[in-house]
Amino acid sequence: MAWSCWARLCSREVLSGRRCRGHRFTLYTQQRNGFKRVPQKTEPRKPDQESGSKTYKSSLSPPVQETIFYTSSPSLKHLVKPFFFTIGFTGCAFGSAAIWQYEYLKSRVQNYFDEARADWMDKLRPQKNGDFRKQVNKWWNSLSEGQRTVTGIIAANVFVFCLWRIPSMQRTMITYFTSNPASRVLCSPMLLSTFSHFSLFHMAANMYVLWSFSSSIVSLLGREQFIALYLSAGVISTFVSYVTKVTTGRFGPSLGASGAIMTVLAAVCMKMPEAKLAIILLPMFTFTAGNALKAIIAMDTAGLVLGWKFFDHAAHLGGAIFGIWYVTYGHELIWKNREPLVKAWHEMRSKSRGKGGGGSH
């Protein structure tokens, strides 16, 4: 979501008669027709003649007509659906996480006895040398809880990255896996674009940062709360990007996990401001987490004010502000007040079990 320059660069390159280079599967835009027809007086002008409706194409597939753009510049009214989607999704994410945690804790004792019995049976069975499954289990058990938690997120990002490499999927990927307030599909890309990367370097950098901070954030919040925070952060940062693009009139598709990762980074830096951090390529230079957060916020603020187009700086700032707010106030307001929901879920489960037990006699 946070890398918006690529699509804009491709558009400028092709409109000037050149193709974008440097990617294996390049997307570019072109006019639908080589010549414009003079519109009849009784018929409205075609959308592509009014707003430059664009066609997206893979370098290994024929042009595909793209129909996701509005025929006029989007206004604030186009943000109503994304706003309610953001509120609803965030509430569902944290509510589901609370129920997930309840069910996990409830089954923990039973799982403990099941695992103890399985370990005892394994000791009785003859051990196999070089068993691949055993090696995988050994590696998995060596990971921290945070690393195990983000493994699924990283796998989802890799899967979506591979989908970008399929020529026949290009139109679907542009429609649903890039976020743009000028698109007719507004809500689902707010979440899906968080798992979408077209560039290998972009994905690798984001996933490395997520992996590096995973142990800290999960130890602070727990697995369930972290998942709710991460998913909500992706949607919220995208909504901030939508608002900024509509108010400034600078439209364009964005994608990437940077907004959600900024929430994770900001939360950890707020809770551990004195922790020492370093840049992977310059490990000899260290700085505190608090100073790193200030520098990142200052850079993204400057990028937003000056109109830099390499990153989606509004999404970065939205993610960072949400992370700061959550660890300062949100945890107390949202997570610590989940008891009524969990209680209602417990009563509903108890009633459903009672009815099921009564019907079996």
> What residues are annotated to the active site?
258, 316
Which residue type sits at 237? S
- Which of 223, 230, 241 shows the shortest CA–CA distance to 266? 230
Positive or negative torsion for Cα 6, 12, 13, 15: positive
Structure tokens at 315: 């999404």
Q: How is 86-104 classified by DSSP, letter by letter?
A: HHHHHHHHHHHHHHHHHHH
Close Cβ partners of 30 (under 8 Å, ≥ 6 residues apart): 14, 54, 55, 57, 63
Phi, psi of 279 (to 5 degrees): -80, 140
Which residue type sits at 254? S
Structure tokens at 167: 């020529």
Close Cβ partners of 192 (under 8 Å, ≥ 6 residues apart): 160, 176, 177
Q: Tell me if 157 sits within 8 A of 257, measured CB to CB.
A: yes
The rounded distance, in Å, linking the Cα atoms of 148 and 102 is 20
Question: How many other CB atoms are there within 10 angstroms of residue 166's CB atom?
Answer: 14
The rounded distance, in Å, linking the Cα atoms of 103 and 228 is 16
For residues 126, 129, 130, 136, the Cα torsion angle rounded to the nearest 10 degrees is: 50
- Which of 87, 66, 261, 79 shows the shortest CA–CA distance to 178? 66
The rounded distance, in Å, linking the Cα atoms of 316 and 4 is 12
- Which of 141, 182, 146 shows the shortest CA–CA distance to 4? 182
Name the burial class of residue 355, with classes exposed (0-12), middle (13-18) and buried (19+) by CB atoms within 10 angstroms of its CB. Answer: exposed
